[in-house]
Amino acid sequence: MIGTINPIVYRRNQADDGAKPLSWLAAAFVYTVGSLTGGVVTAVVLAALGSVVTAINGKQVGFILLGLVAIAYGLHELQIAKLPKPEWKQQVPAWWRYSLHPYATAFLFGALLGAGFTTFIPSTSYFLVFVTPLLGGFGVGVAAFVAYSLLRSAVLWPFAAMVDDVSKVEELTRLMDLTKPLVVLFNGFILVAMGTHLLTSALRAND
Name the nearest CA neighbour of 114 among 151, 89, 154, 149. Answer: 149
Taking the whole predicted model, whether its pTM rises above 0.85 is answered as: no
pLDDT greater than 90 at residue 41: yes
The answer to whether 105 and 95 have CB atoms below 8 angstroms apart is no
The pLDDT, as a whole number, for residue 10 is 45
**Residue 124 pLDDT greater than 50, yes or no:** yes
| Percentage of the chain lying above the pLDDT 90 cut | 9
Q: Which residue type, as a one-letter code, is found at position 110?
A: G
First CA to last CA distance, the chain? 47
Candidate ranges 48-52, 53-57, 70-74; pick with highest mean pLDDT: 70-74
- 3-state per-residue secondary structure call for 92-137: CCCCHHHHCCHHHHHHHHHHHHHHCCCCCCCCCHHHHHHHHHHHHC
The lowest-confidence range among 1-15, 61-75, 76-90, 152-166 is 1-15
- Is the confidence at residue 123, as pLDDT, over 80? no
pLDDT digits (tens, 9 = 90+) for 91-122: 777 777 778 888 888 898 889 888 888 777 77
Q: What is the mean pLDDT of the chain?
A: 76
- Say yes or no to pLDDT of 14 above 50: no
Phi-psi region for residue 163, left (φ > 0), alpha (ψ -120 to 50) or beta?
beta
Categorize the per-residue pLDDT at 159 as very low, low, confident or very high, splitting at 50, 70 and 90: low
pLDDT value at residue 2? 47
